[in-house]
Amino acid sequence: MDNQHLWHSVINSLERKFSKTNLITWFQDVDIKQQKDNQVTIAVPNIFVKEWLHNKFEKDLLKTFQNFSPDIQNIKYVISKSSGHLDLRRSKNNKAQTLIDDISQPQIEFYQNRISGLNPKYTFQNFIVGQFNQLAHACALSILKKAGSINPLFVYSGVGLGKTHILEAIGNETINERKKKKVKYIPCPNFTSQIINAIRNQGIEKVVDVYSNFDVLIVDDIEFLAGKERTQEVFFRVFNNIKENDKQIILSSDRPPHSIENLEERLRSRFEGGMIADISFPDYEERLAILEEKIEERGGILPQEILEFIAKNIKKNIRELEGALTKALIIFEQERSFEKVKNALENIILEPRKKLSADKIIQTVCDFYNISQREILSKTRKKEVVLPRQTIMYLLREEINLSLPSIGVKIGNKDHTTVGYACEKIEDKIKKDGEFIKDIEVLKERIYST
């Protein structure tokens, strides 16, 4: 892969792991100089950046390079004025704020097996099963018993509810049981960038060949296929080959197949042809069980009342549950006081509620249905616009209790009777249309996730 292209791929991957501010601060003036003898040389603007990359990012950076170019064994830094050519400079940044962001962000664990792409920390032993994820778990067991028994398995849920965990656990367990099985785990954006490379290098046939030969192929966050026509084409071929050979395909997404925009019909129907398992929210007891598992894993100690406090207050996202636990452990160790922990957590707990604004609802629905705010606010009665518009009105009333007239104003000066009618329409649809209920659930999850 040529330098520029390799660098683009690396940055793309990093973008999924680090905040935008972080990337801008540390990578905007960085560039690849050369790849030679298993070493990649990167040019950095000054010693400060060099130290940071070396001390804080090197492990992640190297792993990411290796994902695209497995021969690379180490990274060399040279200070040079040549500035990066990546368009990371969309917003002004502030180094002090970035440092704070960086420290307060949990360090991303980034261990991956180079061949399978699997992270061994995701296992069934540390995966709590409850009603909320029972179906996905049962499907996973069935696949472990007999690969190809459910094809594909399509798992979907909101963020932080265990999709990646269960997908990787299936992969890890498959390898544990039979070392010879060829398992591949890949996030969809990485798959897409491989396809783009392959198109440039006339290597598509090879990619199809390699991917068709896995015993278990796991593609995470498949919603990223939306609108990527060539990738969809290639994936379709891979999918058919694997399925014909009775090998296993496992996919995850943040939404059910019918809600993925710009997905070829033939792929959608393939995705719907196996088993679709959604993961919902854990209930109180399940959240407590998860916290107990996590605390045991970390070997920490917290009074039961603190665990209960966390379980009671964080409901929608297991990653946030873990974040709160980490914070509680640190503060409790220093202060030995439930009150102090409670105060510290109050910020995390209250924040998402405070942030919920009409704009967030409008933007979330627009993104989901892939239409612009301008169309929502316009007078058009096109079917593609009317449903999202009505959905927004409904959510504004249900989730932030806005009055009908003020909803009307927000939505492009519509009359309050129009708003009332819209809310009734949606309530009606929720009662009758099973698929739509799921869309509403997905939307609510997104509205409340930060």
Binding footprint of ligand ADP on the chain (CB under 6 A): 126-128, 133, 157, 159-165, 290, 293, 318-319, 322
Shortest Å, Cβ 129 to ligand ADP: 7
Shortest Å, Cβ 202 to Mg ion: 32
Shortest Å, Cβ 325 to ligand ADP: 11
Burial of 326 (0-12, 13-18, 19+ CB in 10 A): middle
Of 164 and 232, CB closest to Mg ion: 164
Look-up of token digits 């009606």: 428
Of 184 and 316, CB closest to ligand ADP: 316
Shortest Å, Cβ 252 to ligand ADP: 7
Burial of 114 (0-12, 13-18, 19+ CB in 10 A): exposed
Shortest Å, Cβ 319 to ligand ADP: 4
Q: Is 119 in the site for Mg ion (CB under 5 A)?
A: no
Q: Name the residue among 5, 4, 118, 111 with its Cα closest to residue 64.
A: 111
Number of residues that bind Mg ion (CB under 5 A): 2
**Binds 388, which of Mg ion, ligand ADP, none (CB < 5 to 8 A, cut-off by type)?**
none
Look-up of token digits 């916290």: 291
Shortest Å, Cβ 157 to ligand ADP: 5
Look-up of token digits 């709590």: 128
Of 389 and 446, CB closest to ligand ADP: 446
Shortest Å, Cβ 276 to ligand ADP: 15
Task: Report in angstroms the alpha-carbon separations of 213 from 235, 242, 266.
Answer: 13, 7, 22
Task: Report in angstroms the alpha-carbon separations of 408 from 367, 378, 394.
Answer: 21, 12, 11
**Binds 128, which of ligand ADP, Mg ion, none (CB < 5 to 8 A, cut-off by type)?**
ligand ADP
Task: Answer yes or no: are the C-beta atoms of 130 and 162 closer than 8 Å.
Answer: no
Q: What is the dihedral of CA 264, 375, 408, 418, to 10 degrees?
A: -70
Of 12 and 449, CB closest to ligand ADP: 449
CA distance linking residue 81 with residue 104, whole number of Å: 31
**Binds 133, which of ligand ADP, Mg ion, none (CB < 5 to 8 A, cut-off by type)?**
ligand ADP
**Binds 127, which of Mg ion, ligand ADP, none (CB < 5 to 8 A, cut-off by type)?**
ligand ADP
CA distance linking residue 415 with residue 43, whole number of Å: 59
Shortest Å, Cβ 272 to Mg ion: 21
**Binds 318, which of ligand ADP, Mg ion, none (CB < 5 to 8 A, cut-off by type)?**
ligand ADP
**Binds 160, which of Mg ion, ligand ADP, none (CB < 5 to 8 A, cut-off by type)?**
ligand ADP
CA distance linking residue 179 with residue 218, whole number of Å: 17
CA distance linking residue 230 with residue 384, whole number of Å: 26
Task: Answer yes or no: are the C-beta atoms of 231 and 190 closer than 8 Å.
Answer: no
Name the residue whose CB lies closest to ligand ADP. 162
Of 163 and 294, CB closest to Mg ion: 163
Task: Report in angstroms the alpha-carbon separations of 67 from 52, 62, 73, 228, 393.
Answer: 22, 9, 12, 21, 45
Shortest Å, Cβ 220 to Mg ion: 6
**Binds 161, which of Mg ion, ligand ADP, none (CB < 5 to 8 A, cut-off by type)?**
ligand ADP
Asked if the bond preceding 152 is cis, omega within 30° of 0, the reply is yes
Of 163 and 243, CB closest to ligand ADP: 163
Q: Based on C-alpha coordinates, what's the Rg of the chain?
A: 24
Of 157 and 197, CB closest to ligand ADP: 157
**Binds 159, which of Mg ion, ligand ADP, none (CB < 5 to 8 A, cut-off by type)?**
ligand ADP
**Binds 290, which of ligand ADP, Mg ion, none (CB < 5 to 8 A, cut-off by type)?**
ligand ADP
Of 35 and 119, CB closest to Mg ion: 119
CA distance linking residue 197 with residue 201, whole number of Å: 6
**Binds 319, which of ligand ADP, Mg ion, none (CB < 5 to 8 A, cut-off by type)?**
ligand ADP
Name the residue whose CB lies closest to Mg ion. 164
Shortest Å, Cβ 5 to ligand ADP: 28
CA distance linking residue 331 with residue 315, whole number of Å: 21
CA distance linking residue 218 with residue 164, whole number of Å: 10
- Enumerate residues 148-167 that contact Mg ion by CB under 5 A: 163-164
| CA atoms within a 13 Å half-sphere pointing along the CA-CB vector of 95 | 6
Query: Phi, psi (5° rounding) for residue 301?
Result: -130, 135
By CB under 5 A, name the binding residues for Mg ion: 163-164
